[in-house]
Homo-oligomer: A and B are copies of this chain.
Amino acid sequence: MLTIAYDGKVGGWQTPKIVPYGDISLSPAASSLHYGMQCFEGMKAYRALTGGDGRDGKGEGDVVEEDDLRLFRPDRNMNRLKDSMRRLGMPGYDFDGGEVIECIKELVRLDRDWIPSGRGYSLYLRPTVISTHPYLGLSPPESLLLYVITSPVGPYYATGFDPVRLTTDTPYVRAWPGGSGSSKIGGNYGPTMMPGAEAHGRGYSQILWTFGEEEHVTEVGAMNVFFLLEKGGADGKGRRRRELVTPPLTRGDILPGVTRQSILELAERWDEFDVVERSITMSEIRKASCDGRLLEAFGAGTAAVVTPISHIQYRGEDIIVPAPGELAMRLFDDLVDIQYGVVEGPEGWSVRI
């Protein structure tokens, strides 16, 4: 594991170290354990593939490039980590993201034997920043520990896409304007587990979180969410008009996901339908479903890349969504191709280690 200590009393960030994975020794008064002074990122290191047509999800035909290891848009993770630290009032958030990426690359090189090969396989990386300051007062911490732990992971969908059933029927709310829902901090996740377990007990995989009386959709589980809608009429090229919608970041209650942003940018490049960040309410989704205009819905995040949605429980009734849809599968394949270096993506997306 990579560790970088911060101590305001001795000049801030200390020399990075790579040490054997093991327990952390922490004061029982550390504010990471009392006041949620903690934030994290989710990233993956991939072993590059070439030549294959492994779009069946099983990796058949892929050729593994053993010495070509990749990260996906790590600069975005570093920037978000810095934003999370700032939101928590942590010092040291002006660290050089590029330098930490170099440390992470070194960690991945050392852990290279732990990176499984094949489409869908990767080394999951968990950069984490916690307060180590043993102080029970409510003020910003003076000492921190940034660490990165790793774990080999396999395909999220071992046997092809497995669409998920969601429910909006919960009294709980994930985030709100003026809160911390746009930061990747511990306090956003703990309170979602009990509601999530309740939903699971009722036969739904995850909660589709909504906000406010108008039930604006915000996120699904711990992923961003997208809806593909038919708009009616045709565009300038005679194509049936469609719109890919994801909730906007402007209210501050949505995590700015790296996968979310990448989907927006890919879809914009295709120029086949409108790509829009805007509020979308449950009543609009229900109406679109009734009118046959709800073409697809899917979650987006680092773990699963894209997660097709098949059901949305709303006020006791299930809205049925066609799943898995063509767009979700295409985005999944295109993103995975770029992540594994099968296809050259936009500049800076697939970063060689």
Contact = CB atoms under 8 A, between A and B. Distances in A.
Interface of A: 1, 21-29, 31-38, 40, 86-89, 124, 126, 128, 130, 136, 138-140, 147, 149, 151, 171-173, 176-180, 183, 185-194, 196-197, 221-222
A126 to B, nearest CB: 6
A26 to B, nearest CB: 5
Nearest to A149: B28
Contact of A190 (B23, B38, B173, B194): B38
A28 B33 contact: no
Contact of A35 (B149, B183, B190): B190
Contacts of A36: 36, 38, 185-191
A102 to B, nearest CB: 21
Given A32-B33, A88-B190, 18 more contacts: A23-B25, A23-B26, A25-B25, A28-B128, A34-B186, A35-B190, A36-B38, A37-B186, A37-B190, A87-B191, A89-B194, A124-B136, A138-B193, A140-B193, A173-B176, A173-B177, A185-B191, A186-B190
Given A179-B176, A194-B87, A35 B189 contact: yes
Contacts of A172: 178-179
- Name the residue among A87, A124, A187, A194 with the largest chain B CB count within 10 angstroms: A187
Contacts of A88: 190-191, 193-194
A34 B40 contact: yes
Nearest to A137: B303
Contacts of A197: 89, 139-140
